[in-house]
Structure formats: C-alpha cells, structure tokens
Amino acid sequence: MTNQILYQIALTHLAEIGVITAKNLVSYCGGVQGVFEAKKNHLEKIPNIGTVRAQAILASKTEALKLAEAEIKFIEKNNLKPLFYTDENFPKRLLQCADSPVLLYYKGNANLNTRKIISIVGTRRITEYGKNQCEKLVEQLAAYQPLIISGLAYGVDITAHKSALKNKLETVGVVANGMDKMYPSAHVKYIKQMVECGGILTEYGFGEVANKENFPQRNRIVAGMCDAMIVIETAIKGGAMITAKLADSYNRDVFALPGKVGDIYSEGCNYLIKNNQATLFESADDIIKQLMWDVELLKPTTQQTLLFVDLSNDEKLIVDALQMGQTGIDDLINTTQLSHTATAGLLLQLELKGIVKAMPGKLFKL
C-alpha cells in the first residue's frame, strides 16, 4: 500500500484529534502527509488547534505511524479496503454530515454509492409482529433493488440483513468494532454471505472491541449513509431512537412502523410519528411513493427529454452532479465549484424547465 494510506490511517491515531478537526488539519496542511510534516508554529495557527493541541499532535506522530503500519499489515492479510474521506469510493452521502468519519474499513463488493440505500433499525428484542413486518417490507422493496444497511445486532438488525439476503439484495453491516473482534459472535456465521452479497463496514481498526461508547458513533454512519431510515420497533429510549433522530438531523427521510398503544417496543415508533420526526408507514408502497421510486419508471422518458433541452455549460454541471441522486446545495457547490449565488440561480432555472425538483431538507434531485 502507498505512503498516502499510511498517513491516512495514522491521522486517526493522533492525540486530541476528532473527525472534524482531522479534516480541518488536512485542509490547512495541504494534504494528509502535510499534517505529519507541519511544524509546531504552523499547527498552532490552525483554527481550534493552539499550543497544547499542537504539542499533543507532534508528540503522538511517531506512535500514530507505528500503529498505522500494524493496521496496514492487518488490512493486507484480510483483504480489507481502507476508504479515506477524499477517496472516490467513500460513501458520498456521509460527506453531507459534518461529523462523518475520516476513514472507514470495508470488506465486501457492494457499491456504497449506489442509487438507492435504505437503513433499517430497531430493538434487539424484536417481537413476532416486528419480525413479520420487517421481512414483509424487505420482500416488497426487493423489486427496486435497494442496498440495505443495518448494524448486525440482534433483533431488527439481523432480521433486516437475513431478509435482504433471502431476497437477493445487497446488505451492509456497520459494526462498532474492529474486523478481528466481530460482535455479536453469534452473527459471525452470516458475515461470509454478507461480504459476498454486500459487505461489512467499520471506522474502527483491528483490536477495537465493541465498547458501549462505540455504538452511538456507529449509529451516525447507519443514519448518514442512507436515503431513508426505517424504524421497525423500538422502546422510547435506546440506540434506534438515537439513530432515527440522527437521520432526521441529517435531513434523511425517516419512517416508523406504528404499533399498539402501550406496547413497550412500539412506544418509540409511535413517539416519532406523533412528534413529526418520522412518517408513518403501513407497507412498502408508502416508502416507495415518498421516495418517488415509482416515478423512476418514467426516467427513460426524462432522459430522452433532456436530449432536447438546451442547457448551458453551467446547467450541465448541475445536472451531472445530480446523477447520483438527491443532493444538498453545499455539495453541489463543492462539486461544480460554482458560487452559491450562481448555483441557486441555476437550480431555479432547472426547476422551471422541469429538470430539477426541490426536496425537503434543502435537497435537490433530477
């Protein structure tokens, strides 16, 4: 592997550095290698670094590089793919989230930037009602070939993964541990099949166990990678509620399965619906219509129409940037390198031409 990957992994081991600060360092130092070559006086001038943090970075560089070398050996031995946040294959939807990981470790063959991605979450103590509804939902969604994301945990998570595999859908498990410390051990038997038809994803290096504090961090990946999150069953408190609220804060569509009043594992879903933090769904049709997947059947006509629309060069930049799916204006600006004013004006023009549609959460799609 290249020296660049060595520095990318080492960046995650620097002392006193979180994901936002790490990205800031890379920007101010002209690249990840520049972070390790920067002198103290330069580091001190970077916003939110200062003298104490600069000293901590410099003091931890040698150890960080040593840990990165060991990580690379593990990666090569186990055929893992390190995905840095500037890489082409890094999940683009995650980049819309300010607290997205700097580096991910991936084993699998699913395209993490495929056009349709659904996250399914819920309680570890799934009821028979929840299990049946989850299996039925995945079966109904199968015709649209979404990638199914979940956390490989007991209950709703593993039901979603198994249902995806049964319906020949790709599914990715996002875990809260290193690839050598898989949790829960009871689900290791499903990993080989998931890697062949999906994958396993984590931001934790080898040797990292599934500590309690890792799960909320894992949940933000599950929330950020998807177009829509589906909550099957959950109590009023728990990881699924945290994940749903994260998805809502990331402007993702959130759907919740309603349940009987008084049922402990329906209280969370009912609460989300009642407080307008999730849309009630009774079948896959509700989700398909909300996400406009049914309209995509008209896409060939739309593509044909585009052939006859006279677009300026800048309009073409916007259209090309939207090919991946719905995107926020900030990401369009970063992709096209157009100004905010120009981008907003072009989006309005494209809306009037019937080419672009404005979506909730200040998102746009073709």
State the chain's mean pLDDT as an integer.
91
What Å distances lie between residue 313 and 72, 338, 339, 356, CA to CA? 43, 12, 15, 16
pTM: 0.81
The pLDDT score that the predictor gives to residue 360 is 62
* 158 closest CA partner among 130, 177, 179: 130
* pLDDT of 301: 45
If one counts every other C-beta atom within 10 angstroms of the C-beta of residue 62, the result is 11
pLDDT in tens, 267-294: 999 999 999 999 999 999 999 999 988 8
For 6-24, the pLDDT digits (tens) are 999 999 999 989 999 999 9
Q: Which residues pair with 172 in a beta bridge?
A: 149, 199
Residues 126-137, buried b or exposed e (16+ Cβ, 10 A)? bbebbbebbbeb
CA nearest neighbour of 11 among 50, 52, 65, 59: 65
> Is pLDDT of 303 > 60?
no
What whole-number distance in Å separates Cα of residue 63 and Cα of residue 10? 8
pLDDT value, residue 234: 96
